[in-house]
């Protein structure tokens, strides 16, 4: 479970969401996380997995839980995880 410090929204993570959350290191693009982790660990279509992952990441981003960037962002101890 993840909670937004901004608005106290709770997110309950399923197994796939947990893999994405744990892999969000600020260096690995979301597409790589989906292809190398999600599609390898779960029996899921890559196109559907990509769409679902983007929807999940965008929801976390809207609540200030995750940062999304085209380039790696230097992390600090107070920064939320990020996905490129």
pLDDT per residue as tens digits for the range 25-84:
888 999 999 999 999 999 899 999 999 999 999 999 998 898 888 877 666 655 666 666
Taking alpha carbons only, the member of 55, 79, 54 closest to residue 67 is 79
The pLDDT assigned to 52 comes to: 96
The pLDDT assigned to 34 comes to: 97
Q: pTM for the whole thing?
A: 0.79
Domains of the chain: 2-83 (1.10.10)
């Amino acid at each position: 479970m993840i909670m937004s410090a901004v608005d106290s929204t709770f997110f309950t993570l399923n197994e796939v969401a947990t893999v994405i959350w744990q892999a969000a290191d600020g260096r690995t693009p979301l597409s790589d996380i989906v292809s190398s982790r999600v599609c390898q660990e779960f029996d899921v279509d890559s196109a559907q997995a990509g769409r679902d992952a983007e929807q999940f990441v965008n929801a976390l981003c809207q609540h200030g839980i995750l940062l999304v960037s085209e380039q790696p962002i230097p992390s600090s101890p107070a920064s939320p995880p990020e996905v490129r």
